[in-house]
Amino acid sequence: MSSRERERMIVLEAVKRGEVSVGEAARRMGLSRRQTIRLKRRYLTAGAGGIVHRARGRRPGNRSQGSLPEQAIALYREQYAGFGPTLAAEKMAERDGVIVVSESLRRWLIDSGDWEGPARGGKHHQRRAPRARFGELLQIDGSPHAWFGPQRPRCCLMVLVDDATGRFKLFLAAEETTMAALVVLRKWVTAYGVPVEIYADRNTVYWAPTALAQPQLRDQRHVHSEWGRVAVGNLGIGLIPAHSPQAKGRVERLNAMLQDRLVKELALRGITDIESANAMLDEFADELSARFAKTPLDPRDAHRVFAPQDARAAQLAFSVDFERTVARDHTLSFQGACWQIPPQVGAPRPGAQVTLWRAMDGAVRCLWQGRELIIERYDPKAQRFRQRLQQATAQGEDEEDEAPAAPASRTLVGDPSPTPPGIYRIHPKAARKKEGGGIAHHDHPAPASVSDTALGSRPRVALSSGRTRPVSHKPPPPGR
């Protein structure tokens, strides 16, 4: 008899003695009045045995017949060892004709010791003691959220928090990118100094695959991502990879708090765009840091002083470096663009390795052997087009001087220089219509002006000097 059945027997005995009514007994047992009356009748006729469930001790109707469990276990050991119960049941029915329920097979395999099942629960995490000094360890993370409400697009809040005190800096961006991470890092370094280490998750913004796979190379800048080259190479900050969200629980808990407080603060101020939000984030972060920051165990500040010599050094400290090789025509390829190194004192020879620095504002600098080189953005297609245009224009002027009485020609609208011969096919009939104020033939539209500055407009220029005379249509045969 179970404990629940014993409690029911005590209540029914009180009903039998008249101490408790049937309604009160039903309330105590959690049953309906009709079920209580039935239990009372069975208790009065059969005693305590009438309270026991009548299906107890009976064989279930859906119980597997005979030796099916033994057959299934033997078949599993022989052909399907290592299979999961669900897959093994499917294959037994498909290949061997043995129909067995997957959950039944799971229970049989667990009882026989052939299947252990998946491990329950995750890895045990132990709370880590915070660092003792301010600036000894920072945690960085991006928090994608609907910061301006569910009706607005989601954006990402970059959070950088100190492990010892809880002070933090914020920056809002459309996504978690290298530039957004650099902005929040520059905010911290400018306000407090250079920290000792930063704890970051294994996102590709912070880590390159080589740095994760080879920890012994993490002190070398070339194995890091763009953000890592700035943090490790330029500022000398150590990076620590986080293998789980629980590892950087301080910044995760701060994200949860900001998703509550900051969303409401933005709504109260009526801010609905990223630029306006960034204008108030420093004030908001300093206010919360002053209210909730803790006193570090060690009062000594672990930050290193950030004191660049000039504005150029401060810009280079947060610039990303890229190695490039000088081509034979003294050009460099960088992010889909071509940069020309003009003649200058100390210019590198073709094949030399130079360093390009991309600043946070997009400016590009070139350094070689400690000197900054002058570089200019170069567009090869536009340069070739200008050269061909000049050659064709000069060739047309020369031919016009040699042949003063040229046949019917056409000049470019808005350009006083004559059109080089051999470009337009002008039918004599169309020329006569033009002279008489008629409309030109639809196959010969008016050319665009060379001086037209509209994007996409391009004058028709002869790229070859093979033809020296204008081409005209042959006269139509008689009778047409």
pLDDT digits (tens, 9 = 90+) for 209-266: 999 998 888 888 889 999 999 999 899 999 999 888 778 888 999 999 999 889 999 9
pTM > 0.75: no
Q: What is the predicted pLDDT for the residue at 124?
A: 64
Least confident span in 27-41, 347-361, 372-386, 405-419: 405-419
Q: SS in 3 state form for the chain?
A: CCHHHHHHHHHHHHHHCCCCCHHHHHHHHCCCHHHHHHHHHHHHHHHHHHCCCCCCCCCCCCCCCCCHHHHHHHHHHHHCCCCCHHHHHHHHHHHHCCCCCHHHHHHHHHHHCCCCCCCCCCCCCCCCCCCCEECCEEEEEEEEECCCCCCCCCEEEEEEEECCCCCEEEEEECCCCHHHHHHHHHHHHHHHCECCEEEEECCCCCCCHHHHHCHHHCCCHHHCCHHHHHHHHHCCCEEEEECCHHHHHHHHHHHHHHHHHHHHHHHHHCCCCHHHHHHHHHHHHHHHHHHHCCCCCEEEECCECCCCCCHHHHHHHCCEEEEEECCCCCEEEECCEEEECCCCCCCCCCCCEEEEEECCCCCEEEEECCEEECCEEECHHHHHHHHHHHHHHHHHHHHHHHCCCCCCCCCCCCCCCCCCCCCCCCCHHHHHHHHCCCCCCCCCCCCCCCCCCCCCCCCCCCCCCCCCCCCCCCCCCCCC
How far from the centroid of its chain's Cα atoms is residue 392's Cα? 50
Angle at CA 85, nearest 5°, toward 79 and 86? 110
Q: Place 429 in a pLDDT band, splitting at 50, 70 and 90.
A: low
How far apart are alpha carbons 285 and 169 in whole angstroms?
6
- For the ranges 8-12, 258-262, 389-393, the one whose mean pLDDT is highest: 258-262
Task: Between 147 and 311, name the one with better pLDDT.
Answer: 147
Q: What is the predicted pLDDT for the residue at 393?
A: 80
Whether the Cβ atoms of residue 422 and residue 467 lie closer than 8 Å to each other: yes
- For the ranges 165-174, 216-225, 324-333, the one whose mean pLDDT is highest: 165-174
Q: Tens digit of pLDDT for each residue in 292-320?
A: 899 999 999 999 999 888 888 888 899 98
Average pLDDT over residues 396-405: 61
Q: Tens digit of pLDDT for each residue in 74-117?
A: 999 888 888 888 888 988 898 888 888 889 898 889 888 888 86
Q: What is the predicted pLDDT for the residue at 451?
A: 42
Q: What is the predicted pLDDT for the residue at 299?
A: 92
How far apart are alpha carbons 329 and 343 in whole angstroms?
11
Q: Tens digit of pLDDT for each residue in 258-296?
A: 998 899 999 999 999 999 999 999 999 999 999 889 999
- For the ranges 11-15, 156-160, 370-374, the one whose mean pLDDT is highest: 156-160
Is pLDDT of 457 > 60?
A: no
Q: Tens digit of pLDDT for each residue in 46-65?
A: 887 777 776 666 656 555 55
Q: What is the predicted pLDDT for the residue at 200?
A: 92
Q: What is the predicted pLDDT for the residue at 397?
A: 67
